[in-house]
């Protein structure tokens, strides 16, 4: 896959990485914009080749383990591949709030902590 984009979700997702092609950036941009509105923090991370994004682990074939319904639908619609992964390297990462920039990058997202009212 040339110029892969990726998003690693930390916290409740158990560190899933989602990988997509540039032609699917607009679909991802909508999902990311929704997550930004929900309080997720996104960090642009250094580019990795596809074989590093998807190490020897198998791609997830049954996305039922994916808790987030938006991301599950993205995989079920064949827009993205997903794999369980180790935490992405955050050295030199930059906080970003622009869904378009994030959708065209390799990034890491941290879900906001829930507060009991």
| More confident site: 12 or 44 | 44
> What is the Cα–Cα distance from 63 to 1, expressed in whole angstroms?
21
Mean pLDDT for the stretch of residues 88-99:
80
Residue 116 inside a domain? The answer is no
Round to whole Å and give the CA distance between 90 and 17. 14
Q: Looking at the domain assignment, is residue 77 inside a domain?
A: yes
| Residue ranges making up the domain that contains 11 | 5-110
Asked, for residue 106, whether it belongs to a domain, the answer is yes
- Residue 100, pLDDT > 80, answer yes
Using pLDDT thresholds of 50, 70 and 90, give the confidence band for residue 101.
very high
| Number of structural domains found in the chain | 1
The Cβ-side half-sphere exposure at 77, using a 13 Å CA radius, reads 12
Note whether residue 78 is domain-resident.
Answer: yes
pTM assigned to the model: 0.79
């Amino acid at each position: 896959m040339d110029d892969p984009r990726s998003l690693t979700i930390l916290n409740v997702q158990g560190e899933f990485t989602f990988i997509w092609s540039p032609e699917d950036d607009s679909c991802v941009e909508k999902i990311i914009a929704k997550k930004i509105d929900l309080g997720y923090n996104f960090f642009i991370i250094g580019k990795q080749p596809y074989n590093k994004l998807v190490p020897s682990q198998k791609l997830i074939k049954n996305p039922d383990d994916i808790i987030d319904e938006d991301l599950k639908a993205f995989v079920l619609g064949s827009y993205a591949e997903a794999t369980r992964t180790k935490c992405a390297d955050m050295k030199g990462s930059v906080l970003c709030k622009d869904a378009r920039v994030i959708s065209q990058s390799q990034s890491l997202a941290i879900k906001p902590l829930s507060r009991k009212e």
